[in-house]
Amino acid sequence: MNGEATTGPGIVGTPAELDYAPVDWALGYEHACAVCGYSLRGLAVNANCPECATPVQDSLRGKQMRHANPEYVRRLRSGARMITLGALLPIPVIFLAMMMMTALTLVGPVLGSALGLIPPIVGVVLIWSSFLFGWLRLTTREHRVASDSKAERVRARCRQLSVVIALAIPGSYVFAFSGGMMTLATLRMGGVQASGALTMISSVTVYVLITAQFWYAAKHVRHVCSRLPATGLPAYASVVFWFVAVSMGLSIIQSVTGFFVQRSVMAQLAQAAASPPPGQGAALPALPTIWMFITGILLFLLFLLNFAIYVMYIGLYARLWSHLSKQVARAASRG
């Protein structure tokens, strides 16, 4: 059903006429409301949709970021800024940790060790906070977008996974710590294997969650970038997130192979302890050559790949931050 035409001096016959037609002219062609899909034909350009009260002009302007609510754009900008700064934080954290380590000889081992823990702990908290709150702001909902649209579903899924990861990463450290305590507290082979399996499962779970979050983040960021006058930024975002997907896949493989290396070594240690050579204690067994080779190659590839991803990741969100800042400045100059 079409809307009723508002009294006005004329009809807007084509989209091209919107640039110069008075705002009280009625729409003379089919155009759906951007929020509910209601046909706006017959309504004045300055009217509201009778179904959801969305201004007709919002639906006619399209999806370009320059037409979005300025407060929405500011929240996106702050999210991109927090993610960028959070990605840069490891650099000063590592530097400060190294400086603290050099202070061990000056203040004593106990106090020096305690001081050396401060930069990593503070850095982890800041990075964790930047990730969580940055993504919460970057996935702010735009109210004029239909709740059942594909872009809105992707945004919501990305937001949910960001919260899950923010909770899962501290949980993985608890699992790893529990596994280490289990290893130290028991000499039974089964306990050692259980601790290794616990660590592997927690690591793989986090990697899978991060991969899923990055998959939806790639779609969401590409959608945001497509609304900006930034040539090449959506394609650049796609490249970055494909690199991340490969890195997470290699990380999962490395965690699994590392578990089997540990299990193989522990089995050899248990066998050597059960029946040591006469007059000798249990000797530390050599790692299986094939597992050493696979693990070494994976670690080397992961180092190179993660370094490239780190640089590209910072570049992506720094560029997104810059373009969103321009949109905020443009909106402020209009206001």
Location of structure tokens 């578990």: 259
Residue 207 lies in a domain: yes
Residue 333 lies in a domain: no
- What pLDDT shows up at residue 322? 93
Residue 34 lies in a domain: yes
Task: Tell me the pLDDT tens digit for each residue of 185-219.
Answer: 443 444 445 555 666 677 778 778 888 888 898 88
User: Do residues 5 and 29 touch, judged by C-beta distance below 8 A?
Assistant: no
Residue 248 lies in a domain: yes
- What pLDDT shows up at residue 192? 44
Which residue segment(s) compose the domain that 283 sits in?
184-312
CA–CA gap between residue 240 and residue 229 (Å, rounded): 19
What pTM, to 2 d.p., does this model score?
A: 0.69
Closest CA to 100 of 82, 79, 121: 121
Residue 120 lies in a domain: no
Most confident of 104-118, 263-277, 313-327: 313-327
Average pLDDT, integer, range 37-44: 86
Q: Is the dihedral of CA 123, 125, 131, 134 positive or negative?
A: negative
Residue 173 lies in a domain: no
Tokens representing 60 are 């006619």
Task: Tell me the pLDDT tens digit for each residue of 143-165.
Answer: 766 666 788 889 999 999 999 98
Residue 132 lies in a domain: no
| Count of domains for the chain | 2
- What pLDDT shows up at residue 239? 87
